[in-house]
Structure 1
Amino acid sequence: MRRRARGSDHATKPLVKAPLRIGALDAAAVVGELRQMHEDAEDSDVERMPGDDELFGALLYLEKHAHALRRQSAEAQQVAALKRVQLWEYVREQTELHQARAVEDARAAGVQWIELAPALAVAAPSAAYNKAKRLKAAELIDETPRAAPVRRTPEAVLKAQRRLAREQAAERRAQEEAQRRHELLVPVATRLLAEREALLRDDDVDYWLEEIEVVLPHCRTPLQMVSLKRYLDAALRALGKLERQTARSVALTEDARLALSAALELQGHSGDVRL
């Protein structure tokens, strides 16, 4: 019997084939699209959905409240589900990148591979080392839409390292900006709360203002600041919804208007809220 001719492809080609990746994605914008779909479906709890930049919390909300779209068309439900799948894949990819950086920090702090093994869910120091190398390789991606791994040439690696340095610098700037906004959160929220009686309100607005009132006196830790930001975002969304429903300004006095404008200006840097 005549033997089948072996293909011309190299035997290792399946092993080195570049994986497809989500790569760069405006996750907040996608979450915003999903939020709008839930608002259009009149999801009664949508005001309690975490902000667009709180990806993990938003995804958990969308999973729990997927039933709110059941009255929408089958196509709309499919689109929403696909967007959630895409966002979870994006989260997984980002997890690899950030875990690799955490491993680097651990090693720089003197943590041994045998100590890293349990944290990386492997059984031996050598397995921890190998897993860390695989995670590191995930960082070295090019700037193409599919974000394929770069070739391991000195020039390609240098380009990737420079790109990573730019990203890290941008991340530091973002963290500094976030810290600046956190420092302004308390006075801005305090001022808005002080003008409560001069704001047009409904049950949702009152609910979130009460949440602000509870957490405000204790805002010292980063977690408390995050909670305050979430409640302020929600209050502004509720005010914006009320303004659209009534077709009138929710600020009944000039002081209330200034307090509301300050809150919107603070939150507007991340595109969270629009009245």
Structure 2
Amino acid sequence: MSRSARKSVAPTKPLIKRPVQIGSLDTAALVGTLRQLHEDAEDESVGRMPADEELFGALLHLETNAGALKTVEARREAAITRVRLWEYLREQTDLHQARAIRDARAANAQWADLAPALAVRAPSAAYNKAKRLQAAVLTKASPGDGPPVRRTPEAVLEAERQAASLAAAERRAQQDAARRHGLLVPVAQRLLDCRDSLDDDADVTYWLDEIAAVLPSCQTPTQVVSLETYVKAVVRELGKAAFDKAGSAGAAVDAKLAYAAAAELVTAR
């Protein structure tokens, strides 16, 4: 019976599941625990062991002197902890090497310069390897429930394109919020200045109070959206009361002009 051919996966398609990883560790504390095991075993070499913070050197020392532990239980505990620490180091390697490549490129290093350092023979191979390493950076930067980036140059380029698109959208949102802020604030303040002539029912009172609460600290896009919502609500409630057709004596003139400006702003969007 012939086996069905395995379907090829698009190189830009993200992984379905995040790989299981060690994650963050208090490596100094774990090395300290291993040091204590060797001290308890009266290992004479423990005095030459690197500091707890020097993870790589400490692991090499512990590997060389693993036989100094006298019991099977201690040797098993120490060996499993060393496995865990080496796995932690492995997880950090791609991330930090990718950052080093980024810094080298920022310092005008060519791919030909990086090929020997990446243990490849050609500039194109250095580029492709760097892109695969960048997958670790992009996966770490993605939200916890986001799909991990596949370790292919195509997937990394697609992830970088999406990240750039999201960043551009965020910049546009911030610019739009700044523009709306510049238009909304004086209109909202004008409504508050005329509230004695506007404030004639409970609904109008409520929305003007909301404007008064958010206006002094209206800076973020979310606050701008809230302010715009409140201004729209005031316009809506005044429209129900046919405020624009009310009398125009005294202070009511300024109030009608404030209402008209607010109505024009919220309907222009």
Normalising by structure 2, we get a TM-score of: 0.49
Larger gyration radius, structure 1 or structure 2: 2
TM-score by length of 1: 0.48
